[in-house]
Homo-oligomer: A and B are copies of this chain.
Amino acid sequence: MQKSSRVSEAVIRRLPKYYRYLKDMQKSGVERISSKELSKKMGLTASQIRQDFNCFGGFGQQGYGYHVSELCDEIRKILGLDKEYNVIIAGAGNLGQALANYVGFEKEGFNIRAMFDVNPRLVGLSIRGVQILDIDSMGDYIVNNEIQVGIVCVPKAKAQEVTDEMVKRGIKSIWNFAPVDVEIPENVAVENVHLSDTLYTLSYKMNED
């Protein structure tokens, strides 16, 4: 499927959710689904779903609906999850270790090659076979191992410095968990994950009415 020149941020943010739901249905053996059923499951309108998919040339057939595993595969490709990536994690604290322990990322092609930390008590240890190395060796490691994705799990005060080093050494994608928006050049992709944002949204919702 060909995607149109510029897909809106809102559509892009819904793609992983479609992928999640479709993967679950595929696992449960669901072969096809109408946009109406899919919309009910996902809490979106059927026309919203059709519009979203039209950004990528449209899927599905009138009167048949969507073929679940075909649609799932298409969205996997659109998301770039049909490829393999070399990943490192900077910061081997609890959060870094939690991410290293999660096998789900590997299943989608994100292979964590190494972790890096300043703490001498952590350096030398392994998490699920992933070695924790000295943060000073990170730059050379990136270059020598063709690392494409850098996960930032260091404290807020160190996040920009670590990001700058990653970018300088050729990393093109930053997944940042430090509670600050890191700045990157235009040709680098970044996702700043602010865990507290969802807590505050929850707080708003519980105080509503």
Contacts and interface: CB of A to CB of B under 8 A. Distances in A.
A189 interface: yes
B201 A13 contact: yes
A193 interface: yes
A200 B108 contact: yes
A17 B198 contact: no
A173 interface: yes
Contact of A172 (B79, B149, B206): B206
Contacts of A174: 202
Contacts of A19: 200
A193 B93 CA distance: 20
A199 B206 contact: no
A12 interface: yes
Interface in A144-190: 148-149, 172-175, 179, 189-190
A189 B173 contact: no
A13 B101 CA distance: 29
A contact face: mostly helix, strand, loop, or mixed: helix
Nearest to A174: B202
Interface residues of A, number: 51
A104 B179 contact: yes
A83 to B, nearest CB: 8
Given A104-B179, A197-B16, A190 B204 contact: no
B191 A81 contact: no
A197 B193 CA distance: 10
A34 interface: no
Given A198-B191, A200-B16, A98 B94 contact: yes
Given A191-B198, A196-B104, A203 B94 contact: no
Interface of A: 12-13, 15-17, 19-20, 78-81, 83, 85, 93-95, 97-99, 101-102, 104-105, 108, 110, 148-149, 172-175, 179, 189-191, 193-208
6 closest residue pairs by CB, A with B: A94-B98, A80-B207, A189-B205, A16-B197, A16-B200, A95-B98
